[in-house]
Amino acid sequence: AINMIGSNGIRGVDYCAMEEDNIQFTLPQKRKNVTVAVEGNIGSGKTTLLKYFRKNDEVEVIEEPVSKWQNVGGSNLLELFYKDCQRWSFLFESYALLTLMQIHKRPHTTPIKMVERSVYSGYYCFEHNLCASGLMASVEHGVHNDWFTWITEKEQPQLDLIIYLRTTPEKCMERIKQRCRSEETSVSMDLLKELHDRHEAWLIEKKFPVPAPVVIVDGNRSLDEMYRFYDSNTGCLLGMDTCVPCEGLEVRQ
Active-site positions read: 116
Residues 162 and 15: their CA atoms lie apart, in Å, by 21
CB 12 within 8 A of CB 5: yes
C-alpha dihedral over 197, 198, 202, 208, to 10 degrees? 130
Give the number of other CB atoms < 10 A from CB of residue 51. 11
Residues 160 and 61: their CA atoms lie apart, in Å, by 15
* Axis-axis angle for helices 85-105, 138-155 (nearest 10): 0
